[in-house]
Structure 1
Amino acid sequence: MNSFLSFIIRTSIAAPTAVIVWPISFFGFGQTFLLSSAISIGGGLVAYWTTSVITNSRFLKKHQLSRKEYLYIKKNLEEAKPKINRLNKALFKIRHVPSLKERVDVLRITRKIYRLTKLEPKRFYKAEPFYFSHLDSLVELTEKYAFLSSQPKKNLELDRSLYETRQTLSELAQLLEEDLYKVISDDIDHLNFEIDVAKKSIKK
């Protein structure tokens, strides 16, 4: 759920409610200025809370999730965000030009998986290997590689370690592509179904 958009919706309902409640309380019921103000604020808070409950309920219903499931997914997304930021910094500290395209693709795919999961939280279950394994490995290896490759003096052992790390990172990049494919697999199946239906319609 987009927290900023949700806040705007709640505020756009709560603020007018508070504005309307004050004159009703002051002029309609003859309350004092301070009491009318307190009632107005209370009315705005109730409207804000009620809107929050309704929007959250609709969001969970739309995505077929329980509140417990959504909080679990949200927690994991919040933990993943700083990891992706670390990955971004580490990837562009690396000076190895031949792997630049691969590194850009890794960052693009990583952000795509995160963005899709945030927009549609139920996709998280298809991306669990990414969040619980692949992302952590990718961040750790990339940061270590960036640190070691920045050393001014290298020897054969270090060069070999860097080469093996690049190979492992390439394998992880392939796993990321598979992760993304799993996340969008339902969309691909749906598209193929629509294509089959369209082809049958054209033949008729």
Structure 2
Amino acid sequence: MNPFLSFLIRTFFAIPTTIVVWLVSYFALEQTFFLSTVFAIVAGAIVFYMIKAISKTRFIKRNGLTRKEFGYIETNLEEAKRKINRLNKALFSVRSVASFKQTIDIVRISRKIYSITKKEPRRFYKAEKFYFSHLDSIVELSEKYAFLVSQPKKNMELENSLRDTRLTIEELTDTLEKDLYEVLSNDIDELNFELDVAKKSIKTFNDREDESRRIK
């Protein structure tokens, strides 16, 4: 579920609970204003986090994971999010028209893999190379490249290093595309299967139509 929508749902139930508990405590149980407020806030917080826990449990089960597996994936996703932010900062600090498209592609692919895995944590296992190797490499190279390209004076050795780094980043961009393809591989296989079934159905229908025309 969308995090913002989930927050709204929890708030929708927590606020009425807080109000009802305060009214009952203050008027029915004749507690002081302060105690009634404390009881109301505690009750609202319990409802808020209880719904959050239930939603999380359902989400984990729906994705066929154990709590330990989900915790492991969640930790790695949080780390990956920080790395992608670093990547974004490094790449967009390089103000080069020539590398702009490549910058957009790298950030787009990285965020897409992260977004898909965030929504369906089970896919994390198909993207392990991205999270444990390729993302680290592209972040480190991008940060070093951004630092070197910002230097005011460049000699031949530095220019060669920058060129080699650009070429390596290009190769890593292709690798990221393969990572994305791997994450989506099951969807692609299912789509191809459905397309084959649809084509066969169309062919069978057309063959029957042709046969009907010949009989007439």
2:80 counterpart of 1:80: yes
2:112 alignment partner in structure 1:
112
For the residues of structure 2 that align with 1:158 and 1:125, how far apart are their CA atoms? 39
For the residues of structure 1 that align with 2:30 and 2:4, how far apart are their CA atoms? 35
TM-score, normalization: structure 2?
0.82
Instruction: Compute the RMSD of aligned alpha carbons.
Output: 2.2
- CA gap of 1:63–1:153, structure 2 versus 1, over 3 A, is same
Q: State the Cα deviation string for residues 113-157 of structure 1 (Å, max 9, x = none).
A: 111111111111111111111111111111111111222222221
Name whichever of 167-176 and 39-48 sits farther off: 39-48
For the residues of structure 1 that align with 2:20 and 2:200, how far apart are their CA atoms? 58
For the residues of structure 1 that align with 2:179 and 2:108, how far apart are their CA atoms? 13
Q: State the Cα deviation string for residues 27-72 of structure 1 (Å, max 9, x = none).
A: 6xx4223366555445434433432232112111111111111111
Name whichever of 8-17 and 125-134 sits farther off: 8-17
For the residues of structure 1 that align with 2:157 and 2:186, how far apart are their CA atoms? 45
Matches within 5 A, 1:27-176: 30-34=28-32, 39-176=39-176
Task: In structure 2, list runs of 5 or more residues that go unmatched.
Answer: 206-216
Q: State the Cα deviation string for residues 162-183 of structure 1 (Å, max 9, x = none).
A: 1111111111111100000011
Q: CA deviation at 1:187?
A: 0.9
Matched length: 202
Larger radius of gyration: 2
2:195 counterpart of 1:195: yes
1:177 alignment partner in structure 2:
177
Aligned letter for 1:147? F
For the residues of structure 2 that align with 1:116 and 1:82, how far apart are their CA atoms? 16
1:18 alignment partner in structure 2:
18
Aligned letter for 1:31? L
TM-score, normalization: structure 1?
0.87
Task: In structure 1, list runs of 5 or more residues that go unmatched.
Answer: none
Q: Counterpart of 1:13 in 2: which secondary structure? A: helix
Name whichever of 41-50 and 88-97 sits farther off: 41-50
Alignment identity in percent? 59
- CA gap of 1:32–1:84, structure 2 versus 1, over 3 A, is same
Q: CA deviation at 1:14?
A: 2.2
Name whichever of 114-123 and 36-45 sits farther off: 36-45
